[in-house]
Amino acid sequence: MSRVRRRSWHATAVAGLGIFLVVVAITVCAPFLTHYDPIDQVLRDAFKPPSAAHWLGTDRLGRDLFARIAYGGRFPLAITLVAVSVSAIFGTLVGAIVGRVGGAVEEIAMRLIDVFISFPSILVGLVIAALLKPGFGTLVLAITVTDWTPFARLARAITLEINTRAYIEAASAVGAPEPLILRKHVLHHLVGPVLAMGFLRFGHGLLTIAGLSYLGLGAQPPAPDWGAMLAEAQPYMMRFPILVLAPGLIIFATALSVVLAGRGLMLMFDAPHGGPRA
């Protein structure tokens, strides 16, 4: 029976995307939200509590905390965005291709992926960040090295299901070459699930970046960065808890929002609509 169904937005996805967009808006629009410079030190204003002048107070060097939070998101968010995008594209292509090729190639690729998965990503990130000069490219690499594997597994799983569909046989029957089948029939079906997975992995990547920054391998002082702010504020945690709470909470909120969005999207793509399930 043909039934035209418009896909409705899942509440979880809406909530997650909403929070995420607010966070992104704060970091992007930082110059319009505050007139403070995040690296301007005003030592006599150190450790000021929240007030009308300083919405979240100031840190040990008298820098405006809100400005540092707002600007401090740019670095981790940008790195995670690039790293997850690279991982998603690379992993999806690998998964789809080995899923189509099959045989020994697939078997070897999947065992390699198992090897990659068995490394804790923070450890790999640490090693790479420590060996290479800390910076944008290094951190992207540190995330991507382990983060492409879930995409590859997801893409392969869906591809294997698509392989059983008769339209793939029909395409071979008209003589469609493999790249065309991949482009026309396989990648189409991967977009939704990979997008959902991307959001889920974004949360993971963000936490890894925050961790590396906390360990001093991310953004270098005095540049503002959520993870680095946590590390800086640690000695004053008892007396001025807001210094830890503010960056901690925004990392938490951002990671939670993308996970919610990913979960919601996944449920949406899982809903019956005739396409393959993730």
Partner 1 sequence: MNLLEVRDLQTHFFCDEGVVKAVDGVDLTVRRGEILGLVGETGCGKSAIALSIMGLLDPPGSVVGGSIRLGGVDLLGLPESEMAKIRGNRVAMVFQQPQSSLDPVFKVGHHIVEAIRVHRAVAKCEAWRQAVELLREAGIPDPERLAHVYPHELSGGMAQRVMIAIALACRPDLVIADEPTTALDVTIQAQILDLLRSLRAKFGMAVIVITHDLGVIAEMADRVAVMYAGRIVEQTDVRSLFSEPHHPYTQGLIVCMPRLDEVRARLTVIPGAVPSLMDIAPGCRFASRCQARVLHDMTRCMEAEPPLEAVHPGHEVRCWLYDRAASAEPAHHGPRGAGAGYRLGLGAPADSPANGSPAGHMPAGRDSIPHPLLAVTELFKHFSTGTGVFRRGGGTVRAVDGVSFDIREGETLALVGESGCGKTTVGRAILRLIPATSGTVLFGGRDVLNAGTAELKALRRQMQIIFQDPSSSLDPRMRVGDSVGLGLLVNGIKRKERDDAVIATLRTVGLEPYHARRYPRELSGGQRQRVVIARALALRPKFVVCDEPVSALDVSVQSQILNLLRDLQQELRLSYLFIAHNLSVVNHIADRVAVMYLGKVVELADREELFRNPLHPYTRALMSSVPSTQPSGGRARIVLNGDLPSQRDMPSGCRFHTRCPFAQERCAKEDPLMREVTPGHSAACWLV
Task: Please provide residue 47's backbone torsions phi and psi, each rounded to the nearest 5 degrees.
Answer: 55, 35
Site residues for partner 1, 12-51, by CB under 8 A, read none
Instruction: Between 4 and 131, name the residue whose CB sits nearer to partner 1.
Output: 4
The first and second tokens of residue 83, run together, are 């790293």
Residue 170: phi and psi, rounded to 5, are: -60, -40
| Region of 56-64, 113-121, 180-188, 225-233 interacting with partner 1 (CB under 8 A) | 180-188
C-beta closer to partner 1: residue 53 or 188: 188
- How many residues appear in the chain? 278
Q: Work out whether 115 is an interface residue with partner 1 (CB under 8 A).
A: no
Q: Which is nearer to partner 1, 154 or 181 (CB)?
A: 181
Q: Least distance (Å) from partner 1 to the CB of residue 18?
A: 24
Amino acid at 137: G
Q: What's the maximum distance between 2 C-alpha atoms anywhere in the chain?
A: 78
Spatial neighbors of 137 by CB under 8 A, at least 6 apart, are: none
Of positions 31, 102, 177, 235, contacts partner 1 by CB under 8 A? 177
How many CA atoms, within 13 angstroms, populate the side-chain half-sphere of residue 42? 12
Q: What distance, in Å, lies between the first and last C-alpha atoms of the chain?
A: 23
* 171 interacts with partner 1 by CB under 8 A: yes
Kindly state whether residue 189 participates in binding partner 1, applying the rule CB under 8 A.
yes
Contact between 4 and partner 1 by CB under 8 A: the answer reads yes
Residues that bind partner 1 (CB under 8 A): 1-5, 104, 107, 165-167, 169-177, 180, 184-185, 188-189, 273-275
